[in-house]
Structure 1
Amino acid sequence: MFPEDIQQSAQQIVAIATARGLMLTTAESCTGGLVAGALTQIPGSSAALDRGFVTYSNLAKMQMLGVPAATLTTYGAVSRQTAEAMAQGAAAHAQATVAVSVTGVAGPGGGSADKPVGLVHFAAVGPAGLIHREARFRDIGRDAVRLASVRVALGLLAEQLA
């Protein structure tokens, strides 16, 4: 279902997390559960993945992850602050040691001058602390933005497990 590089990354993450007895969780907006989907494609992933949160709306981010309304109002859903709050909220609301979050504008619409289509913020919490990444995937299309975001999110999980 996923490209080979994503499958290999997910397999390595599941193997490392399982070997170390660490549980993972995801908090996803623009990827709509694709990160959790890549992990659950791996046989035995239930030993490493506790749950995934698909929080597409701001209300879902607040209700399911505890993202403060003030964060969303002040910085917007597509921001470093929201990505970090999503990751921290996912870790707090799951039985997991490592959490990763993704929030962005996959397109083709919905962008603005400040937050163009292809802007994606990521965060991860775990043994390596709180990590943020920002990516700008320009002119590659919605599906490609979402797959590229899965790659970055898996990379952050791997960094947390390193």
Structure 2
Amino acid sequence: MSGYVTALVLTVVTVGSIVYLLRARRIREKYAAIWIALAIVVLVIGAFPAVLEWLAAALGVIQPVNLLFLVTGLVLFLVCVQFSVEISQLEEETRTLAEEIALLSAKVDAQAAATQAVAAQAAATTRAALDHPTDGSVAPASATPVDVDDPRPTAPGPTERA
């Protein structure tokens, strides 16, 4: 099998794989478009090898294969640069999101502490109101302090009634 036929078969397999990954949502459209465009270029070169020979002669490259390796290296370099840019953007976005989460967590903690403080204050106010009623009613027996050394009898509480 010649190298051109191998290139054609590999190109068809590559395009099929990219389409599968795209349909399975494992690759984004913009990356799929890049890889499919590259596969089409390889398909054209595999189907019409004279195109590569003509380009090599036009650019002054003696062997068409050398031009192919040069173009492949440039494409891989550009893909690496593109991925580096995207990774840098994602790292920045991740850092920003982590900072926002930390700030929101601090706000939630502060609000929880404030809520607990308000609840504690409300409980203390309720206890104080039960211990010292202001409406003239008598505090329950359990709220009245009892002096154990006092010889006077105390009124039975709600649970002590006979």
User: TM-score under structure 2 normalisation?
Assistant: 0.28
RCO higher in 1 or 2 (8 Å CA, sep ≥ 6)?
1
Larger helix fraction of residues: 2
- Rg larger for: 2
